[in-house]
């Protein structure tokens, strides 16, 4: 329908200007040849009509705004604004293709006309700057023309309100367009567009408007720039550039929310993120199988891209799992998804996408290897023995596996059975791995407890699929002497010097004794000095399944307590990633501190 190409009109009026003086020209662009524009000054529902609106009237057919009365100083004084020299008048205009006697502004935003009412008379020719004759003073609004529409005038270049200020001047206009465009100036000195425009060809024309002011003696040339924007309409159908089908294999990763395969649909039109339903896309499954609808969904998003400087839209479509798939699920399906550009008027506004999906069942089985682990007879409780998991466990997502230890020979003697309390197994937080650790260090010390054979059973939660494998635990080394056995098992981390550390029986110590790590760097460093039950796993910035069983096993990785001294916490806010000097911990807090002895020692060596 008819529209006004400019977002606002700005002009200046002066005391003393006579009734009938033309102020400015409003234009309307046609949607189709038959439309005849009717121009109105309109009143918005929310605002009461201003008392000054009667000072102006608009020619219903031409869209020219005239003064309805001569402007007096008293008129200026009546306005409730403080400024002594210039006061603002606000009017609204609209254009309709049919006549109305109730000029109420249409729901869509009316076009504001902002007039600066100057408390002075119109400057004479001698006081008028040539630029003022040629172009409005503060014209900020760039015209927007809808693509694919009819030619027509879109802007009055000459200032109607200055027509008679310099009667013996002749003013003419010319226009140049970059890039070249169908623009010209007609006899009424209006900027016209002579052909329909195509936004997909060019979105914005930078016009150079040249105004030639000729007097008897001189020709003055005044230039200004104007940008004419081409608005988009949904005149392009969606298309696929490349493939419209994606082959998807779902195996280990079968978790709710998992996304698979991406297909792209292109559209040369632009897509606003909100507002009118311009270029609205909808999608529908063509498959009727309810299982598909309960299991799969499509995740759609679009991004704006530029091709040769022109904006266009790329829609991405991904298959999404609406629920976890059982490990036993085993299907092959072709999913058809119809994408529809609902606003595109033509017939080809749809594109069909195909997702060829193969769902493989997951086998729960252990790799065909003999699992041998070694543990020292002197190992203390919570000493880590090793990790085990079923094949491809690293890639599992959407289902979990629980591990347990079983004694293979149920009828063995009570004494032998007692040995099997030595080792236990726990799940890693993501339930992929089984962590073997020393559960009863006393059992390890018994000479009768030689090598142990366990059965590790892995069970998938929902389907109760099970797999098992035999593991062999070699117990090596000699048991600790009776005297040492009475030695209390402490937290290695409490020790702040090598000698104390290596003489302590520490919780989780694989050799029974704590291990000292000597840091060498200065400042707050990840390679800090500390006493650990097992330098392979602690500190490693991971509070693993065994370490999290007791805060004093590896506070370096797991502590939630305050840390005193220069330090940096671990990623999740637990443990100590970096520390200045030596890191040592008690139940209520940890310390990062340069050790005095080392400090003096270091001062000598480190100069």
Instruction: State which of positions 27-46 bind another protein (CB under 8 A).
Output: none
60-74 burial, b at 16+ Cβ within 10 Å, e below that, comes to eeebbbbbeeebeee
Q: Could you tell me which stretch among 390-398, 418-426, 452-460, 583-591 binds another protein (CB under 8 A)?
A: 583-591
According to the binding rule CB under 8 A, does residue 270 interact with another protein?
yes
* Per-residue CA distances from 531 to 102, 232, 363, 386, 490 (Å): 89, 69, 42, 21, 12
Whether 531 and 584 have beta carbons less than 8 Å apart is answered as yes
Q: Which is nearer to another protein, 278 or 446 (CB)?
A: 278
According to the binding rule CB under 8 A, does residue 206 interact with another protein?
yes
Q: Which is nearer to another protein, 140 or 168 (CB)?
A: 140
Q: Which residue has the tokens 């234009």?
A: 27
Distance CA(274)–CA(344), nearest Å, equals: 17
Q: Could you tell me which stretch among 75-83, 269-277, 315-323, 500-508 binds another protein (CB under 8 A)?
A: 269-277
Q: Choose which of 229, 252, 264, 266 interacts with another protein (CB under 8 A).
A: 229
Q: Choose which of 49, 316, 560, 597 interacts with another protein (CB under 8 A).
A: 560
Q: Reduce the DSSP state of residue 463 to 3 states and report it.
A: coil
Distance CA(3)–CA(93), nearest Å, equals: 11
The CB-of-198 to another protein minimum distance in angstroms stands at 14
Whether 12 and 123 have beta carbons less than 8 Å apart is answered as no
10 Å CB burial of residue 165 (0-12, 13-18, 19+) is middle
306-345 footprint of another protein as x/- string (CB under 8 A)? x--x-x----------------------------------
10 Å CB burial of residue 539 (0-12, 13-18, 19+) is buried
Q: Could you tell me which stretch among 29-37, 70-78, 94-102, 580-588 binds another protein (CB under 8 A)?
A: 580-588
According to the binding rule CB under 8 A, does residue 580 interact with another protein?
yes
Q: Provide the pairing of β-strand 466-476 with 515-517.
A: unpaired
Q: Choose which of 46, 140, 168, 241 interacts with another protein (CB under 8 A).
A: 140
Assigned token pair, 573: 């806010």
Q: Which is nearer to another protein, 371 or 549 (CB)?
A: 549
Q: Could you tell me which stretch among 11-19, 31-39, 133-141, 380-388 binds another protein (CB under 8 A)?
A: 133-141
Q: Which is nearer to another protein, 51 or 137 (CB)?
A: 137
Q: Which is nearer to another protein, 224 or 356 (CB)?
A: 224
The CB-of-102 to another protein minimum distance in angstroms stands at 29
The CB-of-225 to another protein minimum distance in angstroms stands at 5
According to the binding rule CB under 8 A, does residue 104 interact with another protein?
no
* Per-residue CA distances from 468 to 374, 385, 390, 453 (Å): 20, 18, 9, 13
Q: Choose which of 566, 577, 595, 602 interacts with another protein (CB under 8 A).
A: 566
According to the binding rule CB under 8 A, does residue 577 interact with another protein?
no
Q: Return the beta strands (E) in 342-400 as ranges.
A: 350-359, 371-376, 384-388
According to the binding rule CB under 8 A, does residue 203 interact with another protein?
yes
* Per-residue CA distances from 440 to 57, 187, 201, 449 (Å): 99, 103, 79, 12
Q: Which is nearer to another protein, 453 or 572 (CB)?
A: 572
Q: Which is nearer to another protein, 24 or 71 (CB)?
A: 24
Distance CA(66)–CA(87), nearest Å, equals: 19
Assigned token pair, 292: 């598909």
Q: Which is nearer to another protein, 204 or 220 (CB)?
A: 204
Residues in contact with 49: Cβ distance below 8 Å, sequence separation at least 6, in sequence order: 43
Q: Choose which of 1, 208, 249, 564 interacts with another protein (CB under 8 A).
A: 564
Instruction: State which of positions 468-527 bind another protein (CB under 8 A).
Output: 522-524
Distance CA(59)–CA(403), nearest Å, equals: 87
Whether 505 and 487 have beta carbons less than 8 Å apart is answered as yes
The CB-of-220 to another protein minimum distance in angstroms stands at 19
Q: Provide the pairing of β-strand 259-267 with 310-321.
A: antiparallel
The CB-of-229 to another protein minimum distance in angstroms stands at 5
Q: Choose which of 59, 170, 188, 225 interacts with another protein (CB under 8 A).
A: 225
Instruction: State which of positions 271-310 bind another protein (CB under 8 A).
Output: 271-275, 278-279, 303-304, 306, 309
Cis peptide before 539 (omega within 30 of 0): yes
Distance CA(361)–CA(355), nearest Å, equals: 19
- Binding site residues, another protein, CB under 8 A: 7, 137-138, 140, 142, 144, 203-206, 224-227, 229, 231-232, 270-275, 278-279, 303-304, 306, 309, 311, 522-524, 560, 562-566, 569, 572-574, 580, 586, 588-589, 591, 593
């Amino acid at each position: 329908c008819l529209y006004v190409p400019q977002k606002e009109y700005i002009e200046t009026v002066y005391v003393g200007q006579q009734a009938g003086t033309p102020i400015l020209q409003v234009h309307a662009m046609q949607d189709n040849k038959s439309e005849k524009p009717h121009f109105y000054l309109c009143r918005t529902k929310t605002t009461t009509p201003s008392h000054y609106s009667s000072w102006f009237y608009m020619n219903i057919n031409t869209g020219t705004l005239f003064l309805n009365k001569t402007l007096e100083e008293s008129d200026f004084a009546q306005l409730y604004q403080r400024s002594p020299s210039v006061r603002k008048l606000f009017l609204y205009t609209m254009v309709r293709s049919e006549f109305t006697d109730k000029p109420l502004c249409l729901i869509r935003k009316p076009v504001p006309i902002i007039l600066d009412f100057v408390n002075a008379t119109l400057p004479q020719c001698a006081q008028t700057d040539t630029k003022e004759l040629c172009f409005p003073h503060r014209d900020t609004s760039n015209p927007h023309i809808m693509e694919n529409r009819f030619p027509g005038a879109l802007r009055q270049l000459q200032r109607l309100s200055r027509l008679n200020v310099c009667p013996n001047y002749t003013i003419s206009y010319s226009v140049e367009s970059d890039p070249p465009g169908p623009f010209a100036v007609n006899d009424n000195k209006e900027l016209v567009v002579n052909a329909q425009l195509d936004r997909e060809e060019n979105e914005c024309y930078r016009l150079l408007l040249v105004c030639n002011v000729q007097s008897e003696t001189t020709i003055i040339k005044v230039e200004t720039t104007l940008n004419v924007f081409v608005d988009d309409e949904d005149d392009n159908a969606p298309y696929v550039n490349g493939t419209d089908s994606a082959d998807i294999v779902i195996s280990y990763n079968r978790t709710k929310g998992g996304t698979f395969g991406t297909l792209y649909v292109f559209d040369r039109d632009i897509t606003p993120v909100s507002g009118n339903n311009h270029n609205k896309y909808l999608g529908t499954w063509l498959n009727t199988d309810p299982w598909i609808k309960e299991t799969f969904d499509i995740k759609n998003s679009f991004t704006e891209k530029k091709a040769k400087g022109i904006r266009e839209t790329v829609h991405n479509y991904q298959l999404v799992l609406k629920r976890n798939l059982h490990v036993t699920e085993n299907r092959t399906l072709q999913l058809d998804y119809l994408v529809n550009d609902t606003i595109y008027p033509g017939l080809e506004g749809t594109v069909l996408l195909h997702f060829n999906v193969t769902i493989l069942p997951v086998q729960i089985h252990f790799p065909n290897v003999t699992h041998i682990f070694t543990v020292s007879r002197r190992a203390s409780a919570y000493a880590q023995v090793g990790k085990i998991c079923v094949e491809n466990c690293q890639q599992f997502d959407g289902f979990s596996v629980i591990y347990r230890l079983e004694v293979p020979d149920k009828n063995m003697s009570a004494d032998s059975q007692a040995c099997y309390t030595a080792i236990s197994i726990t799940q890693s937080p993501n339930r992929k791995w089984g962590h073997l650790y020393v559960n009863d260090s006393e059992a390890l010390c018994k000479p009768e407890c030689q090598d142990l054979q366990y059965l590790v059973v892995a069970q998938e939660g929902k389907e109760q699929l099970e797999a098992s494998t035999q593991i062999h635990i070699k117990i090596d080394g000699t048991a600790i002497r009776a005297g040492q056995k009475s030695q209390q098992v402490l937290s290695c981390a409490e020790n702040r010097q090598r000698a104390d550390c290596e003489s302590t029986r520490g919780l989780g110590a694989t050799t029974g004794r704590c291990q000292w790590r000597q840091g060498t760097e200065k400042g707050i460093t990840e390679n800090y000095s500390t006493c650990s039950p097992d330098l392979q796993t602690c500190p490693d910035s991971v509070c693993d399944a065994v370490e999290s069983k007791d805060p004093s096993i590896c506070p370096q990785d797991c502590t939630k307590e305050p840390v005193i001294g220069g330090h940096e916490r671990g990623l999740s806010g637990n443990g100590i990633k970096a520390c200045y000097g030596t890191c040592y911990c008690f139940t209520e807090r940890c310390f990062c501190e340069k050790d005095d002895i080392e400090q003096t020692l270091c001062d000598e060596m480190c100069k």
